[in-house]
Amino acid sequence: MTSNEKGGSIPNGEEASGSGSNVEHRIIALARSSTKGISDKDIQTEIPDLRPDQRASIINKLLAQGYFDLFNQGGTLLYKLKDPSRVQKVKGADNEEKIVYSIIEEAGNKGIWIRDIRYKSNLMPTQLNKILKILENKKLIKAVKSVSASKKKVYMLYNLEPDRSVTGGAWYCDQDFEAEFVDVLNQQCYRYLQQLQENTKDCKGGPIAARNISYASSKDVWKYISELGISRVQLSVEDMETILDTLLYDGKVERSISTDGTHLYRAIESLLPPPGIVRIPCGVCPSQSCHGMKEKCHNLERDSNLRLRVLRSGTLPLSYRDHLAKGLELSFHTGDSVIEYCP
Amino acid sequence: MSTQFGKLCSLILLEHFGEIVQKVGNDLYKCQAKPLSLIVNSTKLPLQKVKQALRVMVKYGFVTFAPGPVPNRAVYTLLPEKVILILRYPRYLLLVKTQYGDEAEMLVEEILRQGQDTASRVIIRAVSRLKESLKEEKVCLVTLRDKFATLVNKQFLMRCPSPGEETGVPVLTIKETLLYLPPDLNLKALSNIEEGKSGDAGDEGIYWRVNLDRFHQDFRDQIMVSAISRRLDDNAGELLRHLLKQMYLRTEAWAATSNPIPFTELREAVRKQSSHPLLGQYVDQYLKIMEEDSSGFISKVGDSSGGQYSINMKTAFIQLTWTTIENIVMERFGSKAARIFRLVRAKKFVEQEQIQQVAMIPAKEAKLLTYRLLEENFIQMQELRKSLSNNVPNKTFFLFHIDLNQVARMVLEMCYKALFNAMTRREHERSENRRMIEKQQRIESITLNMREQGATPEQLAEIEEMLTPPEQALIDKVRTMINRLSEAELQLDETMFILQLYLIYQL
Amino acid sequence: MMKKKRLIITPVRVETDFKLRRRGPSRSGAAAAPTYPLLENRPAPLQTGVEGEYMLALKRDLVEFLRDSPAFVVPAAAKADIERYSDRYQAALANRGAGELHMDWARLPQELRPAAGKRRRTSPSAAASKRAKKTVDISNRLDELEKKEEQQSDGEAEGAEDEEEDKEAEGEGEDLEEEDLDEEMDEGTDYINNYFDNGESYLDEDDDNLDDGPVY
């Protein structure tokens, strides 16, 4: 099983920002020095030890934060520092407003928490609140509820689409995680894959053909779910993979990667039934302090959903064992495992 | 070894061999090896009783001895893991019954009951029991002798080492060539003995015991085959069975990985069977599927002779242990916790933040479940201080991970404890309701006798009424409970078996 | 992107096998967790089937066989204590210890052999001797009685339970002569008085009152 590339994108981004803030500044400085923009090659010459993937992630981030405009010049991509004239928008505003605006602008589409603005701007809370109100009214900035902590608002420029880490993507309504929605999708996806698995029973083309029938790509599942119409939100194929991954961790499906790199999923059966230890109350009981049963553990007493025929206690007549043994033979031959003992 | 293990061991000795043996066992459990005199001192038991107990435990293979510091005095060592195996005796017998028939079962049972014995005595006793149960006059001695030989050839039975020259502390040895050499029995004498006359079957002094590891080998294979049958289908299970057979032709049974098995030979073997026609048709495809399955039981190790395959025993039991523990987490904490557990397994090291994101569980719930798993030692936490750049203050990360070895040991402890609890409670119920049970048994035996003597239904009903309905209800309840607990003990052993085997493969 | 109702229909009732686990106020600290808590999850059902029942029968047979065999070592006599102690064993005690442990004594250290030298080898075939027993039953019986008398006159344990025990006791004389160690040990053990006093019940120490349970 391979790790989920997509799932890893968010933390990777964070990692890059942690280790790369210096690099970011160097890239911005480089861009500032060139009016016609800089190319990947320029960055590479300037910072040779930067790996392409790191570079890509930093560039993406700077693009998202609105530092760069992207141009295509003769097949080469150029990053050009945005005209600082946007700051002109705040024209007519006082210095404090400008400072607050630039702090918020810097935060990009991930937004910034009011306390951090205060910390960076050194403004008094009342004053800051007033400025934020003004900027909001001018539709220069907006407040967005973040999913990472309830009741926590972050500010960002008005025209930005909030980052997934703020909205939580498709799985959040306001900042509430829609657990029920996820559960339903989880079940529907499983049902679909199970159905495919069922279909293999009629497959006459050999085991490999049968197995291939049971596979579905994330796109297949996405299509199925879209057609079911249980979601009014437009879900992406990536969203579907997120759900399918929960099934993977439920141990209900197996994921493999096809030759063209798409993810394939199929329903699987666990290798073992629930083990013996959890068929006795002690296996699901957190008690550390019980020793034996002197004080009568009520859990052991309670009838589980088991109907065990009452065996003779005391001396077991040999004939009874024989009787059972006959049943044993019977069950081996017919698969029928129920016999009743009537003395 | 843990105290829980010791307590269980002690309880098993009590149930099967009485309190004297239990006390001597307890005493030996606490130390490596001990001479007779010190056992007597610390147990405060009479010398005769200690001797009796030691004899029993030596006979059943629970205690070994070696020459001690004092000449002609032995030191004794308890083998608690052998004691615990008593709980598995029914499973051994079921296996031998289903694979080798009733006579074989009887033979193995007779040896298990005695710990060790000579072939002739075992056969004679088996004959008389078979007569009794089959209600037949004649049970064929030759059949039993042959069954005995088969069990030896298949290595289910083995010779006990025998003493060398007479010393105070005998040294028991056996040549490897003799270990699985069937006994040479004088049938005529055996038949004389069987008829109550005297005779010498010619095997005096040659003692046999049950080779439990051989049974474990079959259990192991059964578990793997049924796991593959569950995951893929019966044909795949059957194929694995053939692979295992091929493995034994070229690999030591307990090797971590089998030597390569050539496809051509495997196909030949599969073609000879007729129970699974589809398998014969698609051997290559089934191999491919099994090889590609995440269970990882087999892998392709070469291309010559149409492909070389090997069975990964060790990997298989790592997988089965993971599955066992995942299933335990599922039943114990619910499906969301099981999702978190598998996620931590897959990611190796993971932060809380990522757990809730990937598992798609609301943050609060995810945190709660993660910490419960941590609290009950199903997952572990590692602290990591990280200072990457100079302008970020030191940050501490908490990474969750799973130490499978540690969790497996912990679950094994859980099993020991659960077994102890079940056995204790079972005996408690039995003793508390002893009078009632005895009364009921008496009534039952009277009823049985009277029925044999042709009593009328009215008479029978009259006797049965001696037990009032509330009494009957109570007794049914107690019996059901006792049976359920006994059944649970047997099923618990399945979990223990997988975990024990996993740990053995880790050594 | 805000305020959208995600769910149009709920085709199945979501299986919530998870209930948010509040474990009561006492859980938060290391304070006493209940010894027998209410279970949040029920155990999975036991597997049923003839195989299980058959093994259950085997399991019981084994225990019963051993309990009636000489391998089940019982304390000699001590009748006064039986009432208190052995609710659970009384029935078993009744016909316990019949016969002797079949064993090739040469496989044991000398110190464990019932009577050194005397009984090292059992008769050619123990099975044969078992059969033969019937015929010599009467003489055996007489021997037994004789030995019993002998022992009683020695003032040893009243009502020694079986033949073997007697023979051992007899043999013990020899042991003592040979080996001082044994003598010391025997003297140092006043077992009739001490035996039931030790606290090593197979349960925990606090389990004593188990035996004082309800009496019917």
Structure token pair of residue A112? 């910034």
Chain B residue numbers with beta carbons less than 8 Å from the beta carbon of C55 are 90-91, 93-94, 490
Q: Is A119 on the interface with B (CB under 8 A)?
A: no
Query: What per-residue confidence (pLDDT) applies to B486?
Result: 93
Position C184 confidence tier, pLDDT thresholds 50, 70, 90: very low
pLDDT for the residue B376: 94
Residues C152 and C156: their CA atoms lie apart, in Å, by 6
Computed over every residue of chain A, the mean pLDDT equals 76
What's residue C141's pLDDT?
A: 52
Could you give the CA distance from residue C208 to residue A258 in angstroms, rounded to a whole number?
Answer: 66
Residue B339 has pLDDT above 90, yes or no: yes
Mark yes or no for CB contact B18/C55 under 8 Å: no
| C-chain residues near B58 (CB < 8 A) | 107-108, 112
| A342 has a chain B CB within 8 A of its CB | no
Return d(Cα A70, Cα A72) in angstroms, integer: 7
- Other Cβ atoms within 10 Å of C103 Cβ, number: 23
Residue pLDDT, tens place only, C112-158: 987 644 443 443 444 444 444 444 444 455 455 555 544 544 443 34
pLDDT at B494 (0 to 100):
95
Chain B residue at shortest CA distance from C104: B205
Q: Report the C-alpha gap between B255 and B259 in whole angstroms.
A: 9
Cβ contact B342–A251 (<8 Å): yes
> ipTM value of the model?
0.91
| Encoded tokens for A20 | 């790369």
Cα distance between residue C17 and residue C12, in whole Å: 14
Q: What is the pTM of this model?
A: 0.74
Asked if B41's CB is within 8 angstroms of C108's CB, the reply is no
Asked whether the beta carbons of C43 and A281 are under 8 A apart, the reply is yes
pLDDT at C19: 34
Whether the CB-CB separation of B487 and B479 falls below 8 Å is answered with no
According to DSSP, residue C87 is labeled: T
Contact B121 C188 (CB under 8 A): no
pLDDT for residue B392: 60
Subunits with 3+ Cβ pairs within 8 Å of B are A, C
Nearest to C44 among A278, A286, A292 (CB): A278
Ranges A301-305, B52-56, B136-140, B392-396, most confident: B52-56
Residues of chain A with pLDDT > 90: what percent? 20
- Comparing CB atoms, the residue among B360, B388, B391 nearest residue A246 is B360
**With an 8 Å Cβ cutoff, are B48 and C165 in contact?**
yes
More confident residue, B410 or C75: B410
Decide if C126 contacts C101 (C-beta within 8 A). no
pLDDT 10s digits, C40-89: 888 888 888 888 889 999 999 999 999 999 999 988 765 444 444 334 44
Distance CA A89, CA A95 (A): 13
Task: Say if CB C107 and CB B172 are below 8 A apart.
Answer: yes
Nearest CA in chain C to A281: C43
pLDDT at B218: 96
Q: Could you give the 3-state DSSP secondary structure of residue B76?
A: strand
CA nearest to B378, candidates B355, B351, B344, B354: B344
Residue in chain A lying closest to B293 (CA)? A254
3-state secondary structure B474-491: HHHHHHHHHHHHHHHHHH
CA distance C113 to B237: 52
pLDDT (tens digit, 9 = 90+) per residue, B113-131? 999 999 999 999 999 888 8
Grade residue A121 by pLDDT with cuts at 50, 70 and 90: confident
Find the CB nearest A310 among B327, B358, B476.
Answer: B476
pLDDT 10s digits, A325-338: 666 554 443 333 33
Mean pLDDT, all residues of chain B: 91
